[in-house]
Structures are given as C-alpha cells and as structure tokens.
Chain A
Amino acid sequence: MQEKPKTTVTTSRTRRERAASDFTFTADMLPDGALADFRRKAWDEYIRLPLPTTRDEPWRRTDLRTLPAGDFRLPKVDEYLDLPDIPDYLLKPLVSDQHGGQVILYPGGSRVDPSAGSGQRLDPALVEQGVVFTDFRTAERQHPELLAKLAGEIVRPQDGKFAALAAALSQNGILLYVPRGVTVEQPLHSVLWGPGANLAHIAHILAWIEDGASVTYVHEAASPTEAGAHALHAGIVEIHVGDGANLRFVELQSWGEHVWNFSHERARVGRDASLDWIFGAIGSRLTKNFSDLDLVGEGATGRMSGFYFTDGTQHLDHDTQQNHLAPHTTSDLLFKGALTGKSRSVWQGMIYVAPGAQKTDGYQANRNLVLSKGARADSIPGLEILADDVRCTHGATVGKIEEEPMFYLRSRGIPPKDAERLIVEGFFDPIMQRIPFEGVRARFQEAITAKTANI
C-alpha cells in the first residue's frame, strides 16, 4: 500500500451549507411496540445520514439552510385537544357520496371509525373479509404481526434522512390492508391534520393491496397557516399493489405556509396490476417529495398525475422516478403546475428502463404556467434506458400567459382577472380530466380561484 503525501487543506467558508440548527430528537423518543425493531434500525440510519445540502444532487434546487431544525418538537399526547380542530370540509367525502371508512391523525392523537351517528364506520362486511383500515396505534394493538411484517418493505430508511426520521419516529400512521381478491367498493379516506406551531408531524402511510384486490384510497394532509411560526412534516408513503390488483390513490396536501414538508413515497406494482396515483399540492412553505413508481411485474401499469399551484414564497420540489423493472410495463406521468408571486417549483423526473424490460412504454410530461415575473419553474426530465425495444417519450415546458389569448378573452368583455383565471383553468383541464372525482376537482378549483385572485 502506497503512502499518500499528507496535505493540509484550509477551507475558507464564505457561506454556510448546513441547516441553521440540528434536530433535537433523541433515541428515547422512539415509540415502543410492534415496530420497535424497525424503528431502532431506522434510527441508526437517521443518525448516520447528514441533513442534505444543495451539494447532494437530488437537493440541488432545494436549500435547507434556513430550516430551523432545532425548533421542532414531537407533539405531546392529546396535544391536539388544545389546537384548532379539523374543519368540516376536510371530513367530507371527496370521491363519492360516502366513505367506506375514515381515519384522522392529529398531533398526539387520532380518531378511527368515528363514532356511531356519523355513519362512517368501516363497513362490517369489509372487516369480516379481513380489510384493515386504521391508524398505527390501533394496528399495533390489533395487528402487530401484520404491521411489523409490512412496514419498511417498500420505502427503506436508508433512502434519505427524512425517510429514516419518519420511519424511526412516526408518531402515527395509516395501515390499509386489503386481502387477496377483495374489492372495496366505497373509497377510504384518511386525513393528517397538523395544526400548531413548531411541531413535528411525523407519519407513516402504508397501503398494502394484495393480489387481485381493488380499492380507492384518498389521503390528505392539511393544516392552517401559523404566521410567524414553523412546523415540520416528515412522511413515508409505502404502497404495494399485488398481481392483478388495482389501486387508485389520491393524495392532496394543503399544508399551511409555515410547514416544511418532506416525503418519501414509493409504489410497487405487480404483474398485470394497475395503479392510478394522483397528487395535488397547494400548500406548505417548502416541499421536497420523492415519489417512485416501481413496475416490478410484467404487464404492470402506473399512471401518475400531479397538479400544483404555488404562490407567495412557496417552494415545491417533486422528484419522480418511473422504474420499469419488467417487460410490457406502462407508465404515464403528467404533472402540471402554475406559479405566482415569488414562488418556485421544481420537477425532476426520470424514466428508468432496466435491462430486459422490453416492450415497455414510458411517458412523462411536465407543464408549467408562470403567472408572475418573480416566480420560477424548473423542469428536468430524464431517461435512462437499458433495454432496446421500448418506447419512451418525455416533454417539459415552462410558459406564461400570452398577450393574444388575453386580448381575445378581454375583447369579449371578460375582465383581466377572470380572463387569467379562465386560461389557468384551461391549462389544468387536461389533468382534471384524469381525475374522475368531482370533489377533488372542486377543491382544486377553489385553490385556483383564490390564488389567481392574488396575481
């Protein structure tokens, strides 16, 4: 072995790269229970991994230097009782007239199968068939083995600092388990309600759809805006869609504009299975979301449809990955975003086709409409294709409202604000067409109206 010459390196730091402070979480905060082993291993990863900086490729465009990590604490038991309650509109069914079941996660608590009278219990017939839809606390008592078996199968703690944090410290979570061949007719709905200042909302969503099963599941994360404060959300979403199974998964985030939102999500889709994955993002101060689609079985299909609308100084960064790991797989991604104020969006997408994954069809497109001078959208598509008989296409655009359509609409008597709103609605229409849920569309429509009013 050759001895290396010793050199002394002096660095003159002109700027700080790390966050202003470190998290203050400690190992004694790890919850006990069915996931104790899993959590301990995740904690080791959490300790091992540094907070990302813009020197890390996936974080190049999302800077955490102003993250006040040291300010965040875990909610105390029942802390939600002293905080603003969840507004009624979040409890309404979004995709149908009624819920098959509803679970609400609060800071320091949860509500499962709301009390009789609301009529929102998980259908007893589904319970009999073995369907589980509940929060982690209940699952740890009632289904400890199932939970321990499934957690961490899809998203690994080593995927990133925030994945490890969420795996280790998730205060609560959702377990959805649909046994083989069971069709759940009524959509299931969960809400993560995160009011409060300086709290860390840490949640683990686990949806396991066995072979041949079918379900629609809607998960929302929301909070009011706490002016002058900060809050943290770190989450994991793990999805398994078994062979021949069918999942329609809608996730919406309308976090308050004080929330630092981090999420690692991955869906594994089996042979001839199908996933329709819908993302809606209108909230948070800063979001970094990793969403990976793993098409692992021949004939698997995954569709990812995203919409976002940012204003003020919001910063939303979505990192998507469409992994074709088997032949005859199909993926179709369309993300559309509008931006106003001094907000910023980043979409970075990759289609990966593994060696031997022939006859795959991958598509990705990201379209952005920048509505103000100060806003900026970055759109970075990517292909990595290691098979030779495939069809992969992508497209990315960043545009603004043109003068001619505006003049045309105004020449019909439509005032400028309404003309802008029409053009924005028209821009989002193709993505709305992919969302067959009136309630979801109506919710987004309200956001468009509110955010275009401020242009």
Chain B
Amino acid sequence: MSELVIKNLHVSIDGKEILKGLDLTVEQGKIHAIMGPNGTGKSTLAYTLMGHPSYEVTEGEVWFKGENVLELEADERSRLGLFLAFQYPVAIPGVTVANFLRTAINSRRRAENPDDKGISIPEFRKLLKEKMDLLKMDHNFAGRYLNDGFSGGEKKRAEILQMATLKPEIAILDETDSGLDIDALRIVADGVNALTGSDLGVLVITHYQRLLNYIKPDYVHIMLGGRIVESGGPELALHLEEQGYDWVREKYDETVA
C-alpha cells in the first residue's frame, strides 16, 4: 500500500503565499475529506498536487511511491497514479470523450512499454461502455466533444468517468459537489463509492458537509489560512455542519493571521 505524503508544503501564486506549511498523509484505501471556508487554499492544494505550472512550491515535500512528486510534470504525476477531478473542467473543442480517453490510456501503456500498439478498439469500447453504465451515462456521451457544452452535472460525471477509466491510486476530488443537484450528486457519489476500496485513496475537498453524506470519509480535516488546523473522524464534519466555521476561526485566527 502506498501513501501520498505531504510535508510542510508552502505554495505561492503570483508571489502571494497561499499554503503555509501543510502536512497530510493520504493512504490508498482511505477516504480523507478536507473542509474549510472559501479562500483558505483548498483548490491551491489540489492544483499543486497535480502540478499546475502557475503554483510555485517554495518549501516542503510531496512523496508518492518513492518518487519526489514535486519534481514531476503533470502527465508524469498522472501516470504515477495521481488523479484530480477538476472543479471547473475545461472544454476541449473538437476532441471527443472517446478519443481523449483512448489517448490517455495509450499514453499510460506507452510510458510502460514504448512499443505498445495501444488498446484495441473493441477492448476500449467495452471498457468505456462498462464505465458509462456504472455512472448511468448515455453511450452517445462518448462521441461528444470533451466538456464542450456539457451541463454542470455532465462535467462532473465526465470527471468521474475519467477516474473510473484511468484507475488512479490517489484521487483528489476538488469541490466535485459544487453545481450538482441532489440526483446528480447521488450518481457521482455512487460512482466514487463503486471505485473506492483497498486500491484507491481519496482526498475529497469540499466546502459543504453535504457530499460527505454520500461519500463517507475515514478522516476529516479542517483547513484554514493555508494549513490543516483540526483533524478527526466523520464526527468533525457533522460538528461543522451544526456549528459552521466560526468556532474554527475564533480558535485559530490569532495564530493564522
């Protein structure tokens, strides 16, 4: 079993420090939830872990499977087993979901074996249909341009479809519940739950407790001012639901500000 280990992570964007010494370990097979008010650095953490070029790591370490993740490009991190479900997935006009996913799968295969001929079309079709059924998606979805004109719910489902197809070991879900109605939320959560198990570690980033009714975390962390300030079990999320974030702010504002 591998762990994603984050040590004392400091991250700046445009010279402004957003993450100020974050420590967290996410094990395969476990679900961690990070909660916190807006502007506290949750998405920064997600983008930084995936290697977005705009985020500058000024201090700290991230390790996974013996690799120094911070030295890897985004595509290398993905092939190492990391996955980010984006809060706002971008449209790729003219590229179908199927073409995109086949390219992504073949990139993995070729990284392992440069002579790989790529996944066969029938095998790929079968895989894609199976995963689309899991997420209750219409099969014609495969022929649509990626995220182009997708509704909010379709975009989130497409993210989970990618996760299901690419089989990561650590998945980061960045505000996957935002913009979803309750039915869409349930479908997305069911999809995630169907994928979790001993192989997949999940880091759920969310503002609201709502999603955690459907995806049950093993651990809950509260983030404030660029650091994790409280960690606990699922009861911490329920506490936040009842009490809001004010008590956290009162408790930590002095030290954080």
Are the CB atoms of A410 and B73 closer together than 8 Å? yes
Are the CB atoms of A413 and B52 closer together than 8 Å? no
Known contacts A407-B53, A411-B78, A411-B84; A423 and B95 CB within 8 A of each other: yes
**Interface residues, chain A, with chain B CB atoms under 8 Å away:** 403-405, 407-416, 418-419, 422-423, 425-430
Are the CB atoms of A413 and B107 closer together than 8 Å? yes
Known contacts A410-B73, A410-B75; A427 and B94 CB within 8 A of each other: yes
Are the CB atoms of B111 and A413 closer together than 8 Å? yes
B89, B91, B92: residue with the most chain A Cβ atoms closer than 10 Å: B92
Are the CB atoms of A404 and B99 closer together than 8 Å? no
Are the CB atoms of B107 and A418 closer together than 8 Å? yes
CA distance A418 to B78 in the complex (A): 15
Q: Cβ of A404: which chain B residues have Cβ within 8 Å of it?
A: 90
A83 CB to nearest B CB, Å: 37
Known contacts A422-B100, A426-B145, A429-B95; A413 and B90 CB within 8 A of each other: no
Are the CB atoms of B79 and A413 closer together than 8 Å? yes
Q: Cβ of B104: which chain A residues have Cβ within 8 Å of it?
A: 409, 412-414
8 pairs, CB–CB < 8 Å, chain A vs chain B: A409-B100, A410-B73, A411-B75, A413-B108, A415-B111, A416-B75, A422-B95, A429-B145
Are the CB atoms of B92 and A405 closer together than 8 Å? yes
Would you call B93 an interface residue if the criterion is a C-beta within 8 Å of the partner chain's C-beta atoms?
Answer: yes
CA distance A415 to B107 in the complex (A): 7
Chain B: which residue is nearest A431 at the CB level? B94
Q: Cβ of A423: which chain B residues have Cβ within 8 Å of it?
A: 92, 95
Are the CB atoms of A414 and B53 closer together than 8 Å? no
Are the CB atoms of A414 and B107 closer together than 8 Å? yes
Q: Identify whether the interface residues of A are mostly helix, strand, loop, or mixed.
A: helix
**0/1 interface trace, chain B 134-175, chain A, CB 8 Å (1 if under):** 000000000001000000000000000010001000000000
Are the CB atoms of B94 and A411 closer together than 8 Å? no
Would you call B86 an interface residue if the criterion is a C-beta within 8 Å of the partner chain's C-beta atoms?
Answer: yes
Q: How many residues of B contact A (CB 8 A)?
A: 31
Would you call B74 an interface residue if the criterion is a C-beta within 8 Å of the partner chain's C-beta atoms?
Answer: yes
Known contacts A413-B104, A413-B107; A426 and B79 CB within 8 A of each other: no
CA distance A403 to B47 in the complex (A): 13
CA distance A415 to B110 in the complex (A): 10
Would you call B25 an interface residue if the criterion is a C-beta within 8 Å of the partner chain's C-beta atoms?
Answer: no
CA distance A294 to B83 in the complex (A): 55
Q: Cβ of B74: which chain A residues have Cβ within 8 Å of it?
A: 407, 410-411
CA distance A404 to B84 in the complex (A): 14
Are the CB atoms of B93 and A422 closer together than 8 Å? no
B205 CB to nearest A CB, Å: 15
B75, B77, B108: residue with the most chain A Cβ atoms closer than 10 Å: B75
Are the CB atoms of B92 and A426 closer together than 8 Å? yes
Known contacts A410-B74, A412-B162; A426 and B90 CB within 8 A of each other: no
Chain A: which residue is nearest B88 at the CB level? A404
Q: Cβ of B103: which chain A residues have Cβ within 8 Å of it?
A: 414, 418, 422
Are the CB atoms of A411 and B50 closer together than 8 Å? yes
Q: Cβ of A407: which chain B residues have Cβ within 8 Å of it?
A: 50, 52-53, 74
Q: Cβ of B108: which chain A residues have Cβ within 8 Å of it?
A: 413
Chain A: which residue is nearest B75 at the CB level? A410
Are the CB atoms of B92 and A408 closer together than 8 Å? yes
A407, A408, A413, A429: residue with the most chain B Cβ atoms closer than 10 Å: A413
Chain B: which residue is nearest A426 at the CB level? B94
Q: Which of B42-90 contact A (CB under 8 A)?
A: 50-54, 73-75, 77-79, 83-84, 86, 89-90
**0/1 interface trace, chain B 104-140, chain A, CB 8 Å (1 if under):** 1001100100000000000000000000000000000
Chain A: which residue is nearest B81 at the CB level? A413
B150 CB to nearest A CB, Å: 13
